[in-house]
Homo-oligomer: A and B are copies of this chain.
């Protein structure tokens, strides 16, 4: 048996999705005079956040989307931020709204997310969208989860019915929607977390392992069943020799010796997730304008 996992780089897949997004953006412009637009609302000036937003903004523009950046000082009151969000909710020229995630500690992130019109919540974080996913009529699904399942189906098994998937991490934004999508694919799904006993034993049962803890390098070789497909959805910022690095949950160099497939960080799920976000924005625009995937207008 050949040793060493197949490395699932996401860039190629991301480019395929973005090519399709670009075509749809052009069609919406040509046929309906619509300029697909994504608005960012950023509170404060955390450099890491600004870098993240700049990357997404560049990707969006590369995909042909128009972007708007609304930056507010770190000490802006929640009520004022909500006023900005509400303006975007009611602006027919804005189709998707992203709220920056790394809120100062005192700020009630949930309240701001709930202020976004669910029809423009392209991150899929609003409870209305969580409810739709929970009842099998997904509208907007968080992009890391979409990206993981997309890579699974593209590279490992297009119909993963009956496989045992273990999702490590029960977060609203990543672990939970991943579990729900994997159940939708008819996997048996175990959700593990920091209170799980014998985590390695649980993980070792996984045909498909989704790591979504944001705890750097916690998934090691002894967590992985030989030949399993390992998807790293974690992101942590660590400093190595004074240099900031983004690392995942998976100890890549160890796990690649055991797994059948593994996504690297960076370069694995990340680019696919960003492409999925852009696809969500196009979907949002179509739905708001009642256009189906062919560009025809709905009756309803």
Contacts and interface: CB of A to CB of B under 8 A. Distances in A.
Contacts of A134: 127, 130-131, 133-134, 172, 176
Given A127-B131, A127-B134, A162 B197 contact: yes
Given A131-B128, A131-B130, A131-B132, A188 B192 contact: yes
A186 interface: yes
A104 to B, nearest CB: 21
A129 B130 CA distance: 10
A218 interface: no
Interface in A125-173: 126-137, 161-164, 170, 172
A103 interface: no
Give the size range of A's interface with the partner: 20 to 34
Interface in A191-212: 191-193, 195-197, 202
A80 to B, nearest CB: 20
Given A172-B135, A176-B134, A197-B164, A189 B188 contact: no
A115 interface: no
A199 to B, nearest CB: 9
Given A130-B131, A130-B134, A186 B193 contact: yes
Contacts of A130: 130-131, 134-135
Nearest to A132: B127
A182 to B, nearest CB: 9
A162 B170 CA distance: 13
Contacts of A133: 134
A125 to B, nearest CB: 8
A191 B188 contact: yes
B189 A191 contact: yes
A34 interface: no
Contacts of A195: 161-162, 186, 188
A242 to B, nearest CB: 38
A188 B183 contact: no
Contacts of A176: 134
A100 interface: no
8 contacts: A110-B135, A126-B131, A170-B183, A188-B192, A188-B195, A188-B202, A189-B190, A191-B191
Interface of A: 110, 126-137, 161-164, 170, 172, 176, 179, 183, 186, 188-193, 195-197, 202
Given A126-B131, A131-B132, A134-B172, 19 more contacts: A127-B128, A127-B134, A127-B135, A127-B137, A128-B131, A130-B135, A131-B131, A134-B134, A134-B176, A135-B172, A162-B197, A164-B197, A183-B193, A186-B193, A186-B195, A188-B190, A188-B191, A188-B192, A189-B190
